[in-house]
Structure 1
């Protein structure tokens, strides 16, 4: 159970209802998890969901790579709801299920593609060390391009916010789903 009561869309004030409707009618098609928590602050929800829509649907990273960055972030934060939503999307987008499971358990994944290696190295190094070595940075720019690396950092930051929201407010995985980071 979440630390904060779930919102009832019918009780939202006009500002909150407008944000709720914008999320529901956007590319997500659903208002769930941390987005529901954010609706307690419609101003935050509005700005964060707009950034999230760009980070998830508008960057130059193909879905396979953005989902890789998202699940690396989710595993780092041990954010069950985020993992529950994004691991299947990543696999459907072409990530190796064995590599995805390795990331979930904290093992080093075997990634065959140079772009996946670059994203994983950059994301995991930044999250673990809070900095990126020059070699990792140079490799990421060589493989992905500078614009894409900037967008990758945006994805990591946004999904860090998502993960912190999930963890701080104890947003559970959907009813009947298994918690991927259970002790």
Structure 2
């Protein structure tokens, strides 16, 4: 297979060609407005999800939930997010969440780097430690041992375990979307 550097292989956001807001069909514009109402903007993969407005309206609330309501702290969310982004090698989400993880003191830079690079690290906070261990086990071809499961139940509860597993699934979708459309770490997209 011969690779080419055909400019038509690329759009405004990786391979994705965004539709300017003023040219969006009604259903796409509704999904765009819905995303803005929940997120305040249309970030990263949300730009791509707009091409499937019904799906966008379904998945956007999940991401918004993690911004506002999750039982997990911002640091715990970023531990899991950086582990799963690192697992799927999506340049854009790795770059964005490396910055987010370090911002506002959520996590030290060396911890974020270890999470993305799948290097061992540790956390003094028991909740952060169990989130790290459980997310690491779930993103590898491993079974979650009973002892780890019990520690997770004790530290973050069943609701926290559900939050963590669904976050890993949601960010798997984020990462795979960004990878499919070959979105580079420095992508800006249209200024909507």
Pick the TM interval, shorter chain. 0.7 to 0.9
Q: Which residue does 2:127 correspond to in 1?
A: 115
Q: Give the length in aligned residue pairs.
A: 175
TM-score norm. by structure 2 comes to 0.84
Cα RMSD for the two superposed structures? 1.7
Q: Secondary structure at the match of 2:33?
A: helix
Q: Which residue does 1:12 correspond to in 2?
A: 24
Specify which of 54, 65, 70 is matched with residue 59 of structure 1: 70
Q: Which residue does 2:7 correspond to in 1?
A: none
Equivalent-residue separation in structure 1 for 2:170 and 2:187 (angstroms): 25
Change in CA separation of 1:172 and 1:136 when aligned onto 2, cut-off 3 Å? same
1:125-136 aligned within 5 A: 125-129=137-141, 131-136=143-148
Q: What's the CA shift string for 1:138-164, capped at 9, x where partnerless? A: 111111111111111111110111011
- Asked if the contact 1:56/1:155 (under 8 Å) is kept, the reply is no
Specify which of 182, 186, 191 is matched with residue 170 of structure 1: 182
1:30-49 aligned within 5 A: 30-49=41-60
Q: Rg: which structure is higher?
A: 2
Deviation at 1:4, TM superposition (A): 2.4
Change in CA separation of 1:166 and 1:175 when aligned onto 2, cut-off 3 Å? closer
TM-score norm. by structure 1 comes to 0.88
Q: What's the CA shift string for 1:2-33, capped at 9, x where partnerless? A: 2221232222111110110121232x322132
Deviation at 1:130, TM superposition (A): 5.6
Ranges in structure 1 where 5+ consecutive residues have no aligned partner: 177-183
Q: Which residue does 2:155 correspond to in 1?
A: 143
Q: Which residue does 2:111 correspond to in 1?
A: 99
